[in-house]
Structure 1
């Protein structure tokens, strides 16, 4: 059985991994950082999947991914942020279905794994070591 501190550490590790892996991809879409496509390239990716890519949709989607990744990482509004991120990545998993299971062939395996990790965070909550757990001045104990 995992004690409270062990569970809190596990949730911290899971949050840091999920938010930390999501955030660079999001920043790549938004700013072109880390070899990412930037907004114009992201719009092209959306069009390549037959999805709408008119402004401001690529910007809004990239901002959603940045905000949810950062919020999960920090444990702020964690359940909502993890659900938003899971929805985003689940859609990516659906788009990858035609390529099969294995990620090495562009399949759904990797985005599905992150979708499930984010859903686990949404269900379990952030744990004690998160911004959600900080008591603010004036909070009633």
Structure 2
């Protein structure tokens, strides 16, 4: 549960920063500019969809709801961030890929382990009789 809370808890504010500009984030227009800065397409509504997906993935990981799928989505965001920053080298302090790779691995582990006993996944599966 602690790993799931940490992984989702770190993913969620980044999605909220892109979506609403919270926590010093760029907001949707700034996020679109960031995408274009990496030579990626950013036509509307793509930045909105990506920011909403990242936010929802973070929420789901925190609460342990659809954990495997949500953590895999979060991991996909982070491995993409790592790939986009590989030209800056390894260390994050120089804009490299070290930090996003750490969180990619963390989210992959959460995806492999699932939500755990203290998750909405476990609660919902227990209610439908899927968990003994």
- Fold similarity call, TM over 0.5: yes
Aligned to 1:112: 101
Q: Does 1:45 align with 2:28?
A: no
Choose the corresponding residue for 1:121, options 106, 110, 116.
Answer: 110
With normalisation by structure 1, the TM-score equals 0.89
Structure 2: gaps spanning 5 or more residues:
none
Alignment partners' CA distance in 1, 2:85 and 2:127: 48
Greater radius of gyration (CA): 1
What displacement does 1:124 show? 1.0
Name the structure 2 match of 1:84. 73
Give me the whole-angstrom Cα distance separating, in 2, the residues matched to 1:104 and 1:126. Answer: 32
Task: In structure 1, list runs of 5 or more residues that go unmatched.
Answer: 1-11
What CA deviation, in whole Å up to 9, does each residue of 1:58-92 have, x standing for no partner?
00000010010000010000000000110111000
When the two chains are superposed, the root-mean-square deviation of aligned CA atoms in Å is 1.3
* 2:45 aligned with 1:60: no
- Do structure 1's residue 15 and structure 2's residue 17 form an aligned pair? no
Following superposition, the deviation at residue 135 of structure 1 comes to 4.2
Q: 1:27 aligns with which of 16, 30, 49?
A: 16
The aligned length equals 130
